[in-house]
Structure 1
Amino acid sequence: MHTWRSVLTVATLGALLAGCGGNASTEEPAAAAGPWSFTSGNGQVVTAEKVPSRIIAHAGEAAALMSFGIKPVGIYADEPVKTDLNLKDLDLTGITILGEEWGKIDVEKAASLAPDLIVGDWWPAEKAYSGLEEGVDEKSKKLAELAPIAGVAQGESIADLAEGYEQLAKSLGAKVDDPQIAAHKQRYEKAVEAFKAATAAKPNLTAAGMSPTDEKVYVANPKYAPELLDFQRWGLKVLDPAAPDKDFPYWETLSWENADKYQPDLILWDGRAYKDTLNAEFGKKQPTWFEIKAAKAGAVTAWPAYWLHTYEDFATELEKLTTVINGADENVGN
């Protein structure tokens, strides 16, 4: 699976943290004339004689388009759509599911949908679009032969990612200023301001992104985690690990004997596969977990790691984290 941006095993993916999907209308916008163009995340301009309407999209990117009223004809996901945090609460009626495992896409079924555009995030580190990276089934890569591919680059900000998909949706005919759709962005903007106010009130509060497993503890490197970079930008002191793995700089890997190398005031769990209630269970299996003062104090909350794509989901996660910050103690890690 996609090991470079995940330390999760296939087994743990089934335990994903419940997410909050959007409820925006998924009615297709009125057909628009052409020509059409969009500057994709890799810097290339993708063009078509008419505005694409039969779109196949990767899971998170599909959720982003649907939040603006653009309904794809097909979706390929990295896991079951029932557990995918981007999709689990969306109405997928009428959408063909083309895959529910990373690197496995039913290209024959995709071809039957006669797509005129494929949408996926552009990953600069791998120089590939979502689902078409190195390591996927060669048959799956043939998806790229069915239609032009476009998407927004994963970079230094989820805010930028959401804005990029707003622009893509607008180019596809979405009425992004529709009151129901615009309300999601307005809620997000209010959530950002509340988050900034919470962190300003606690300027010494430190946090660390972590993903503990039975064998190791992984400390997230914000440089490769756009959500954490946003949090830093908005005032939360998320720790930068001192020695990220050379071959895998997204994390610093610690043995359980060294689990207490960092002492943040707040631990941000990898929210894709763990719930805060698992904290105590990890402590039973790995007593050194409680050598981290924040773990012992129960100063633990979920971090929406690597999955956010929409203003609405980002607003929901920011609101949750803001509540935690408001109740946090800046002296836990001392």
Structure 2
Amino acid sequence: MGAARVPRRVIAYVRAGAALCDLGVTPVAVYGSGHDGDVLDPAKEGGLRAAAVTYLGPGRGLDEALLRELRPDVIVDVTYDGKSPYALDEAVVERLGVPLVALSVGNELTLPEILDRFGELAVSLGAAADAGTAGADAGTAALDAGAGVPETRAGVPGAGAGAEGDPGGRESVSRAGLRAAEDALRKAADRSALTVLALSGAGPDQVHLARPLAWPELAHLAELGVRLVDPGPGPGANWLTGDWGRAAELRPDLVLFDSRAHATAPDEVLAGVRSTPWNPETPPSPAAYARFFHELAEALTA
């Protein structure tokens, strides 16, 4: 049975909230992850600060009384394992009695599939007001049925929501922008012979080197022709952890560096290598990835 109304008061993990904001749904508030502090990370904020969205601090330490005062209709998180919300204690949501949707951003999905799911969710939450009602009804029914559980049980709006809910509004414009950015990056990669290494600095003595195929957006870059460097064998599914000497040995022409506040910038320890920022938690929206693809295209051809 569907919900009586479209959920309007959304609280979200900052990555999900920034994506929804891009897609036309402004959250009441957002919370961070265990990496985040008491101030919203500028690398993650997207349009949230401009939209005056309240930041609540790290999700694992949220004040339940404050959450109740905010009266959320739904909480939106992400999941990397397909089982548990990434940034919020599921038991808190269960005690609140509020529906939880945790959309997968793991490598079992392609980047286009991830973007489609967030687009469908945004429609179900009221984005694209001129859209047909079938997709929104399906989305609210899923939310209503899945209180307190992640995506694998809470459900995700069906594919029809994206098809019926986008008759030329904001989502269509941003999709066109994404296609243009992909074309620009494809052309830049075709003209450039630069090799690219994605990494996250973990202090002066340690760095996490990204395995390209473990990241949907990096795998998509490879599909567009970017010459990504694989760090090679060793432990770790998403990252190979080593020292900065290991990064230097790979001899990348360009470094995609983790631009989040907790990460170490490579220019502090990896001298003489060109670099450009990469947010491993880029909001899953066409607009956010279009910006990233344009920035990388410029870095490849500079």
Q: TM-score, normalised by structure 2?
A: 0.74
Is 1:320 the equivalent of 2:295?
yes
- Residue 118 of structure 2 corresponds to 165
Letter in 1 for 2:200: S
Residue deviations 1:67-126 (CA, integer Å, cap 9, x gap): 222222232223345424332543344x554x312521122111223322111112216x
Instruction: Name which of 76, 93, 100 aligns with 1:143.
Output: 93
**Structure 1 residues 142, 185: CA separation in 2 closer, same or farther (over 3 Å shift)?**
same
SS in 2 for 1:129: coil
Pair 63,178 (structure 1): closer, same or farther in 2 beyond 3 Å: farther
| Structure 2 alignment gaps of length 5 or more | 129-165
For residues 224-239 of structure 1, what are the structure 2 equivalents within 5 Å? 224-239=214-229
Unpaired stretches in structure 1, ≥5 consecutive residues: 1-34, 37-47, 283-288, 291-295, 328-334
Tell me the equivalent position of 2:67: 110
Query: Does structure 1 residue 130 correspond to structure 2 residue 86?
Result: yes
Q: Is the CA contact 1:57–1:72 (under 8 Å) kept in the aligned structure 2?
A: yes
Structure 1 residues 300 and 72: CA distance shift in structure 2, 3 A: closer
- Give the Cα–Cα distance (whole angstroms) in 1 for the partners of residues 68 and 29 of structure 2: 10
8 Å contact kept, 2:12–2:30: yes
CA distance in 1, matches of 2:41, 2:248: 32
User: How many angstroms does 1:173 deviate by?
Assistant: 2.5
Which residue of 2 is the match for residue 263 of structure 1? 251
Equivalent AA in structure 1 for residue 279 of structure 2: P
Could you tell me which residue of structure 1 aligns to residue 209 of structure 2?
A: 219
Q: 1:209 aligns with which of 198, 217, 233?
A: 198
SS in structure 1 at match of 2:62: coil
* Counterpart residue type for residue 260 of structure 2: R
Letter in 1 for 2:268: E
* CA shift digits 1:203-247 (9 cap, x unpaired): x432111223211232111233222111112111212221242xx
Aligned pairs for 1:60-75 (under 5 A) are: 60-75=15-30
Rate the CA distance shift 1:252–1:169 in 2: closer, same or farther, 3 A. same
Other structure's SS at 2:60 match:
coil
| Contact kept? 1:58, 1:75, Cα under 8 Å | yes
User: What letter matches 2:198 in structure 1?
Assistant: G
What's the C-alpha RMSD, in Å, of the aligned pairs? 2.7
- 8 Å Cα contact 1:60-1:309 kept in structure 2: yes
1:208–1:303: structure 2 CA closer, same or farther, 3 Å change rule? same
> Identity of aligned pairs, percent?
25
Distance across 2 between alignment mates of 1:51 and 1:309: 22
Task: Tell me the amino acid that sits aligned with residue 228 of structure 1.
Answer: L
The Cα shift of 1:49 comes to 4.3
Counterpart among 153, 156, 160 of residue 104 in structure 2: 153
Question: Helix, strand or coil for the counterpart of 1:198?
Answer: helix
Task: Check whether the contact 2:40–2:57 (CA below 8 A) recurs between aligned residues.
Answer: no
Of 184, 190, 193 in structure 2, the residue corresponding to residue 200 of structure 1 is 190
Tell me which moved more, 186-195 or 57-66.
57-66
Partner of 1:43: none
Contact 1:266 1:299 in 2 (8 A): yes
* Conserved? CA contact 1:64–1:162, under 8 Å: no
Q: TM-score, normalised by structure 1?
A: 0.68
1:135-156 Cα deviation digits (max 9, x unpaired)? x6xxx73123321111321123
Distance 1:252 1:108 in 2: 40
1:50 corresponds in structure 2 to 5
Q: 1:193 to 1:144 in 2, by over 3 A?
A: farther
Alignment of 1:32-43 (within 5 A): 36=2
With over 3 angstroms needed to count, the CA separation of the structure-2 counterparts of 1:107 and 1:180, relative to structure 1, is same
Alignment partner of 1:199: what SS? helix
2:285 to 297, 310, 313: 310
The structure 2 residue matched to 1:83, chosen from 35, 41, 44, is: 41
The reply on whether 1:59 has 2:14 as its aligned counterpart is yes
For residue 9 of structure 1, what is the aligned residue in structure 2?
none
Q: Residue type matched to 2:257 in 1? A: W
Label 1:86 to 1:92 Cα distance change in 2 as closer, same or farther (>3 A).
same
| 2:58 maps to amino acid | E
Greater mean alpha carbon deviation, residues 228-237 or residues 261-270: 261-270
Give SS of 1:242's match: coil
Deviations 1:245-303 (A, max 9, x none): 2xx43221223454433122222112224899x55432xxxxxx34xxxxx2x422222
